[in-house]
Chains A and B, each alone.
Chain A
């Protein structure tokens, strides 16, 4: 590589540079939309709802109101089971801001029973040690007593059978 003109700067020298600071205060208002609002309402009643397209037969969860494959509005709400299967998982030792957790959490991709194959959501696994989690394991939702229409109305999924 050709040598270039200029002066390299050491880390000691860097401390001499002036730093400006500002904080961007942004508050987002995030709408759940038509389908997800209905889905979240269902969680209050310990129900998981998907949408079915009668042309292609797919039952999708999380739900949506339009079948992008058939190019038409889909047809009906279908109540799914609150059980499913672990497709894969991870044991997280850090929080969203990179701080360490006291106890790790297990997060899994869960295929929900009653929906079409590979339809599912991420959620926590509970009542199981990280070493005992297996891909393909059957799980069931454990609901909170007080529910407010949030995906966290499900406390976690626990192994069954």
Chain B
């Protein structure tokens, strides 16, 4: 297997983007990634587009994006793994390069959720999972699925709604420094506690928003990297796993087994034994506040049942044991489904290179970072590990 690096990354402004079309939105991030990497369309062998879609009008988003970005007739496909589509697309590009099938591949994640009304979008997300046993008869919404986990977690470990609220407060704090974030407003625990219940114990401000946005990363083989940059960021491990469609068949509701398995696979590839002492920062999938707390544990940053204490002690702020979601996370940066994973990985590559700057820039001591991207309610999980160091044991 060949080594694979990130040459450059880009991200559009996230939010309700009724000013641009799907392809124009994709172009915003693709253009930034081309500028950062020095890559032109000529250099790209293939492009992978990650979109969940359904709410947007385009049925074949990959070719629409390809035409607008000047990538036709390069080979392409759309990749879907629900909210983890972006990481799945990076995984696809990674394997194409690692196997020697391609030299330079662009991954473009884009989602235009505002093309449908909020009720339609909420219903489409609610159908994710197992349609008949969960949606058709009960009309479950996505927050209700995660609430099943929150109830169980709080019941077992004694965490409170205030503890979960701390995750939202942190991520909005960092979102306030991110000019591309959907929300750039700070909130307090009180704000979260006073927001209306969506699915007890989760309230409106425990939930990530419906967002439009795009993100791009451009990947290359070790042989091709030097043509473009002296500052590559290496992909040192990608772990992936799946969970049962039907939530009733999960072993427990205390963590996401798929995320745990994906993390363990990725750590093994990267030879990481104590993640908390090797990683400089983490981007975690905080679609709901409980999801970030479970991520701390699924990623083995702390033991089971200790996750909520990590945020309580502010250890996931910058300066703490392990900063998480300095981008603002899905909660404040926004969650344009197909773009989210690509945005996480692109953001971390810029973090490792010290290109974020300001309040959000992490202290890079070891040169390692991790993206944790979950699709559905633990239906898909991808964990991607990045490093400034290409040496050591690789795949």
Asked if B152 contacts A88 (CB within 8 A), the reply is: yes
Contact B126 A96 (CB under 8 A): yes
Chain B CB within 8 A of A132 CB? no
**90-141 of chain B: CB within 8 A of chain A:** 118-120, 122-123, 126, 131-141
Q: Given A4-B31, A94-B141, do A22 and B132 touch, yes or no (CB 8 Å)?
A: no
Q: Are B148 and A91 interface neighbours, CB within 8 A?
A: no
A150 CB to nearest B CB, Å: 7
Please report the C-alpha to C-alpha distance between residue A95 and residue B249 in the assembled complex, in whole angstroms: 24
Inter-chain contacts of A146 with B (CB < 8 A): none
Question: In the complex the two chains form, is B137's CB within 8 Å of A94's CB?
Answer: no
Q: Which residues of A contact B145 (CB under 8 A)?
A: 90
Contacting chain A: which of B64-72, B197-205, B219-227, B231-239? B197-205
Given A96-B139, A120-B248, decide whether A109 and B253 contact each other with a Cβ distance below 8 A.
Answer: yes
Interface residues of A in 1-51 (CB under 8 A from B): 1-2, 4, 9, 13-14, 17, 19, 22, 30, 32, 36
B179-232 residues at the A interface, CB under 8 angstroms: 196-200
How near does chain A come to B32, taking the closest CB pair, in angstroms? 6
Partner of A109, one of B36, B123, B148, B350: B148
**B251 / chain A contacts, CB cutoff of 8 Å:** 118
A2 x B36 contact (CB < 8 A): yes
Give A100-141 as 1s and 0s: 1 = Cβ < 8 Å from B's Cβ atoms: 100011010110000000111111100000100011000000
Which chain B residues border A2 with CB–CB below 8 Å? Answer: 32, 35-36
Nearest residue, chain B, Cβ from A120: B248
Contact of B198 among A88, A93, A135 (CB under 8 A): A93
Minimal beta-carbon separation of B148 from chain A (angstroms): 5
- Chain B interface mostly helix, strand, loop or mixed? helix
Interface size on A, residues (CB 8 A): 45
**What's the minimum C-beta distance from A107 to chain B, rounded to whole angstroms?**
6
Given that A89-B151, A107-B138 are contacting pairs, would A30 and B197 also be in contact in the complex, using a CB cutoff of 8 Å?
A: no
Contact partner of A118 among B123, B155, B249, CB < 8 A?
B249
Query: What bracket does the count of chain B residues touching chain A fall in?
Result: 35 or more
Is the C-beta of B144 less than 8 angstroms from some C-beta in chain A?
Answer: yes
A-facing mask of B22-64, CB < 8 A → 1, else 0? 0000000001100110000000000000000000010000000
A19 to B114, CA, bound (A): 12
Q: A121 touching B248 by the CB < 8 A rule?
A: yes
Q: Is there an interface contact between B36 and A122, defined as CB atoms closer than 8 Å?
A: no
Asked whether A90 lies within 8 Å of B199 as measured between CB atoms, the reply is yes
Q: For B155, give its contact among A92, A135, A151 (CB under 8 Å).
A: A135
B355 partner residues in chain A, CB cutoff 8 A: 1
Does B139 lie within 8 Å of A122, measured CB to CB? no
Taking the closest CB of chain B, its distance from the CB of A136, in whole angstroms, is 9
Q: How far is the CA of A32 from the CA of B199 in the complex (A)?
A: 29
B141, A122: Cβ atoms closer than 8 Å: no
Which residues in B have their C-beta under 8 angstroms from that of A107?
138, 140, 144, 148
In the complex, residue of chain B having the shortest beta-carbon distance to the beta carbon of A112: B248
The complex places the Cα of A123 from the Cα of B248 at a distance, in Å, of: 10
Does A62 interact with chain B (Cβ within 8 Å)? yes
- Whether A98 lies near B155 (C-beta < 8 A) is no
C-alpha gap A90/B350 in the complex (Å): 39
A17 touches B18 (CB 8 A): yes
Given contacts A122-B247, A122-B248, contact A92 B152 (CB under 8 A): no
The answer to whether B168 has its CB under 8 Å from any CB of chain A is: no
A88 to B152, CA, bound (A): 6
Q: How far is the CB of A118 from chain B (nearest CB, A)?
A: 6
Instruction: Check B270 for interface membership: any CB of A closer than 8 A.
Output: no
Q: How far is the CB of B192 from chain A (nearest CB, A)?
A: 15
| Any A CB within 8 A of the CB of B147 | yes
Q: Which residues of A contact B249 (CB under 8 A)?
A: 118-119
By the criterion CB–CB under 8 Å, are A109 and B198 in contact?
Answer: no
* Residue from the list B57, B132, B199 in contact with A92, Cβ < 8 A: B199
Residues of A within 8 A of B150 (CB): 90
Chain A residues with CB under 8 Å of B143's CB are 92, 94
What B residues does A123 contact at CB under 8 A? 138
B267 at the interface (CB under 8 A from A): no
B149 at interface (Cβ–Cβ under 8 A)? yes
3 closest A-B pairs by CB: A90-B147, A96-B139, A91-B200
Give me the interface of A with B, judged by CB distance under 8 Å: 1-2, 4, 9, 13-14, 17, 19, 22, 30, 32, 36, 62, 87-100, 104-105, 107, 109-110, 118-124, 130, 134-135, 150-152
21 inter-chain pairs at a CB distance below 8 angstroms, sorted by A residue, are A4-B31, A4-B32, A19-B18, A36-B132, A62-B246, A87-B248, A88-B148, A88-B151, A90-B200, A91-B197, A92-B198, A94-B143, A94-B198, A95-B139, A96-B139, A96-B140, A109-B148, A118-B250, A119-B248, A130-B200, A134-B155
Q: Given A94-B143, A95-B139, A96-B135, list of 6 further CB < 8 A pairs?
A: A36-B132, A89-B148, A91-B200, A110-B248, A120-B248, A121-B248
